Chain A
């Protein structure tokens, strides 16, 4: 998810970084309930710098063990290690004594920039780095104050190291011994954080804290939850989005041993049938035995074929303008030989995180408890409260470890949580675990929207694009939601145009516009959001321009990038340097391809070594360079990029598209919608981090946009073809 702000690039909560919420926008009031950020009336006034209370984040036990609470979901990105590293470093804690836990939903755990508890937008480190530094510094200050008080010395006379306070005259006290007294100290309003030169943990390769339990089967994900008396539920969803139940014949279903109940429930759109049983397998069998008649009369049946026709037609007309600089006269006047006209197609994509969606809820009348691997705790907690007619603070919301998310667990309408709450309401007093099967997941919507692009480029005499006219057609992610006010300007949803509208390439006459059709398909942000398709378009077209100019594609990019595109320039130069040796001796049948892209504040360049095997791209190697500012945990960053590019290749998989035919999703499971397996991923990936002391920016999403164009650019050199329609069904 992106916001049109610049995340903290200084060592303080940026004064320009609060969100502008229009008081007159339809969702304005609701937004202010979600976000505790200043409204327009207070614009200009700096937001009060928040002093987060350490006791909500750090628990020092008498035996010296330290538990650090992480204000975000851990769903693979490594935050349960990297944020504790930051805090532990400032605190001078003994790292071997540190473990992490995931925070439940609470005000104090809200993202300091976004103002809601969430993970997304690659913001874990970017938004909470300074916050956790200050928490660590505060905790240290209180420990030192407690020791100083005991020893009747000045705090300045004390040092800290590895969970020990050292005082004058050889005095020392362990953090575990001081914890109780430290908790009674006043929380300092301001603290001094370390000079980065003093970092002991930050910047060093640090192994994940959660590896062992993830390797021995002991770590419980949401789906593994088992509570006394718990029932399991599945929901029969309508075969077309928005359908409603007309009649239910549940005789056969109810006859199964262990069945609890079958009843209709409201969905985000339309209605469905909840099936509740003692066990998952019983519930699933029962659902298969249900005979449901669906009312699909008022449902608009979305159809991929028809949508392509509509989209491509729209792409030939100017939409709502996102960017307009210079003029397009040059383009219109240019001859065909100095013009590129390109049309691109991107299908719906499903996230399919490895752990199927699930939520457990217990409703007790005046309170409720929720267990969910949620990327959106504040919003989900509110949704459950609303469904149960409770106040949010009557809902205890536990954050479970999640088996992947990629955006799928951050849903504005909290539809899975609401389904679970509705079922729990009926089963008052009994905890209910709602499970979406993989089929429910593949067919259940909330996809990366399909997009059509049409680009016309007028090529200048020097081979650079003199004029560029770009139309993007695809659904808005946030229209009609509380996020619309901050993400839609002039009718353009920035999540659809990011990566193009904000390009770092120096294109003097640049016009980007967008259309947002509204087919009946629920859509959602998919890891790196608009960059997924925009980076593909930009980076393949730039490569095509370089080829026409007979220039090395790396040199071409360096020439065309704006001078101040620092992160891109640095990562591109580093990737070039680290790949020049192998690029120079590629075997026959191999070609190299390059792509660079900046997303969520991080610049990435990727060079791939590709050949074609059995009609598919075989990626022998990817050399990646990244400029993400200060690298908090280089090991995490390396892992994120090595793995993130494998995820990104979802876009190229032959069966990597969700398609609809007359309202029904055609794919059912991984046999029809197939993500990358080991053989589809690069065999080797070397990652190089540009040394930097700038404020850290995220690495969760940045690996995704570059890989598909980098591979396709290599393919283009092998085959001479242009690839403008994804997924890649024929090479």
Chain B
């Protein structure tokens, strides 16, 4: 609810001092929906670890790179044919992501697809430039930083995880060129949405330095 975004900053400070929230306004958004049972910080952190396990699976992290190129495969090697990020994460004029990736998986040719195939912005990188996966705390902080995550709060993030075609794709990633089915993230989509919900309900807590 829009009015909740306009709470004075002072109240946010007070509430933050109470220590019950990591991000004040997010919880207020949650109160617009039927109120769930309050989720403890510990439960929230556990839920976050589940979310993190999906985010850092190759099906997701291959497009959340720190470089100007995507990765592919379970070994997360650099995507072939020199495809690159481009200005908007959609590739370059003659070599766009959609030059090959269509709006659905092409199992007959081994190319994955979903509507609007593109790279996540660099602000959403979940690995460093040496392909090393970032620690859970860092990814959590990035994910919850509105200046980095396209201004999304908890409900926005939950909606993203629930509805975004590229996220949905990760759970139905199709057949690879060698005929084998691509490996799946450690949770089903339903479990992923549930874990996200729990984490959001807990106020999107982030682990400290892990």
Contact = CB atoms under 8 A, between A and B. Distances in A.
User: Do any beta carbons of A and B sit within 8 angstroms of each other in the complex?
Assistant: yes
Interface of A: 285, 288, 668-671, 674, 677, 679
B80 A670 contact: yes
B179 A288 contact: yes
A677 B84 CA distance: 14
Contacts of A285: 108
Contacts of A671: 80, 177
- The binding surface of chain A is classed by DSSP as loop
Contacts of B81: 670, 677
B87 interface: no
Nearest to B73: A671
A285 B179 CA distance: 12
A677 B179 contact: no
12 contacts: A285-B108, A288-B179, A668-B178, A669-B177, A670-B80, A670-B81, A671-B80, A671-B177, A674-B80, A677-B81, A677-B82, A679-B82
B202 to A, nearest CB: 42
Q: Which 3 A-B pairs have the closest CB atoms?
A: A671-B80, A677-B82, A679-B82
Contacts of A679: 82
Interface in B88-115: 108
Contacts of A668: 178
Contacts of B177: 669, 671
Nearest to A285: B108
Interface string B174-198: 0001110000000000000000000
Contacts of A677: 81-82
Interface of B: 80-82, 108, 177-179
B91 to A, nearest CB: 15
Contacts of A670: 80-81
Contacts of B179: 288
A679 B178 CA distance: 28
Residue with the greatest number of chain A CB neighbours at <10 A, chosen from B80, B81, B108, B178: B80
Nearest to B82: A677
B95 to A, nearest CB: 11
Residue with the greatest number of chain B CB neighbours at <10 A, chosen from A288, A671, A679: A671
A609 B116 CA distance: 41
Contacts of B108: 285
A138 B4 CA distance: 96
A669 B178 CA distance: 11
B96 to A, nearest CB: 17
Nearest to B67: A614
A235 B179 CA distance: 18
A524 B80 CA distance: 28
A671 B177 CA distance: 11
Nearest to B72: A671
A438 to B, nearest CB: 11
A677 B82 CA distance: 8
Contacts of B178: 668
Given A285-B108, A288-B179, A668-B178, 9 more contacts: A669-B177, A670-B80, A670-B81, A671-B80, A671-B177, A674-B80, A677-B81, A677-B82, A679-B82
A339 to B, nearest CB: 40
Contacts of A669: 177
A674 B179 CA distance: 21
A112 to B, nearest CB: 44
Nearest to A679: B82
A19 to B, nearest CB: 45
Contacts of B80: 670-671, 674
A4 to B, nearest CB: 42
B180 to A, nearest CB: 13
A673 to B, nearest CB: 11
A376 to B, nearest CB: 32
Nearest to A284: B108
B15 to A, nearest CB: 47
A166 B177 CA distance: 67
A668 B180 CA distance: 15
Nearest to A672: B80
Nearest to A668: B178
Nearest to A678: B82
A288 B179 CA distance: 9
B53 to A, nearest CB: 28
A671 B73 CA distance: 11
Nearest to B79: A671
B71 to A, nearest CB: 13
Nearest to B179: A288
A540 B141 CA distance: 51
A285 B108 CA distance: 9
A288 B175 CA distance: 14
A439 to B, nearest CB: 9
B75 to A, nearest CB: 12
A440 to B, nearest CB: 15
A286 to B, nearest CB: 13
A258 to B, nearest CB: 15
A670 B81 CA distance: 9
A731 to B, nearest CB: 16
A279 to B, nearest CB: 14
A679 B82 CA distance: 9
B1 to A, nearest CB: 48
B9 to A, nearest CB: 45
Contacts of A674: 80
Contacts of A288: 179
A659 B80 CA distance: 19
A670 B82 CA distance: 12
B112 to A, nearest CB: 14
A604 to B, nearest CB: 29
A671 B100 CA distance: 15
Nearest to A655: B80
B101 to A, nearest CB: 15
Contacts of B82: 677, 679
B84 to A, nearest CB: 10
B129 to A, nearest CB: 10
A713 to B, nearest CB: 26
